[in-house]
Structure 1
Amino acid sequence: MSTAQTYRIEVEAVAEFIPAQSSMEEDHYVFAYHVTIRNTGNTAARLISRHWVITDGTGKVQEVHGQGVIGEQPLLEPGASFRYSSGCVLETAVGTMHGSYQMEASDGHRFEATIPPFMLAMPRVLH
């Protein structure tokens, strides 16, 4: 069995702007993001920790490290998925996020699941 098929996690993230919590006058832009994590491999795996890289429209970078997601360290059996929502605040109307989840398979093997880049953007800011 190949390692690529044994340990395979797919991550999809979608962001939305939250106008009711944002203030353009104060450079305070609030975004929610919704993440789906799918175990497409052959071995159960637990999400141990996360690493986010958040970049605003000026190029300012924030890095966030933490245990689990939303207070949980979900165990994903093969074929299972886990969905959650969270949020972030930027000083600009646009930005990006990407990162990785550190996973531990049921056999003890540790590996990273890549979180592909996704856009944070206030509507009608980008053409």
Structure 2
Amino acid sequence: MSTPERYKIEVTAVAEYVTAQSRPEDDHFVFAYHVTIRNLGTVPAQLLARHWVITDGNGKVQEVHGQGVIGEQPLLAPGEHFEYTSGCVLETPVGTMHGRYQMLAED
């Protein structure tokens, strides 16, 4: 029998190209991304801040950072999750995103 981990957060992100808002002829490519943050640990944890680095196909970098996400700093009890959707505009049809969230354990 394994012991549950006290601190374990899982983040998944799925990106989607938004055709209706994009204008490829103007190098305007809109992407939405849906993020799910799950507390798989045994201790409640609050999302305090985030930092995303978004890079288009030309190497142009945009950074997104600040307190919480979409104006919220959710407290996730063990087993709970929080979802949100946001977006970005790139000058190329491809790009990458990576980043991190700052979480604070309630103990």
* TM-score normalised according to structure 1 size: 0.79
- Which amino acid in structure 1 is aligned with residue 56 of structure 2? D
**Structure 2 equivalent of residue 34 of structure 1:** 34
Q: Does 1:48 align with 2:48?
A: yes
Over aligned residue pairs, what C-alpha RMSD do you find? 1.1
Secondary structure, counterpart of 1:46 in structure 2: strand
Q: Does 1:105 align with 2:100?
A: no
Secondary structure, counterpart of 2:5 in structure 1: helix
Q: Any gaps of 5 or more consecutive residues in structure 1?
A: 108-127
**Structure 2 equivalent of residue 59 of structure 1:** 59
> C-alpha distance in 2, partners of 1:91/1:47?
30
> C-alpha distance in 2, partners of 1:62/1:91?
11
**Structure 2 equivalent of residue 23 of structure 1:** 23
Identity %: 72
- Which amino acid in structure 2 is aligned with residue 65 of structure 1? H
Q: Any gaps of 5 or more consecutive residues in structure 2?
A: none
Structure 1 segment 77-88 matched on structure 2, within 5 A:
77-88=77-88
> C-alpha distance in 2, partners of 1:61/1:6?
35
Secondary structure, counterpart of 1:6 in structure 2: coil
Residue-by-residue CA offset, 1:6-50 (whole Å, 9 max, x unaligned): 111000000100011110111110000001100011100000000
- Which amino acid in structure 2 is aligned with residue 27 of structure 1? D
> C-alpha distance in 2, partners of 1:53/1:6?
28
Number of aligned positions between the proteins = 104
- Which amino acid in structure 1 is aligned with residue 100 of structure 2? S
> C-alpha distance in 1, partners of 2:37/2:20?
28
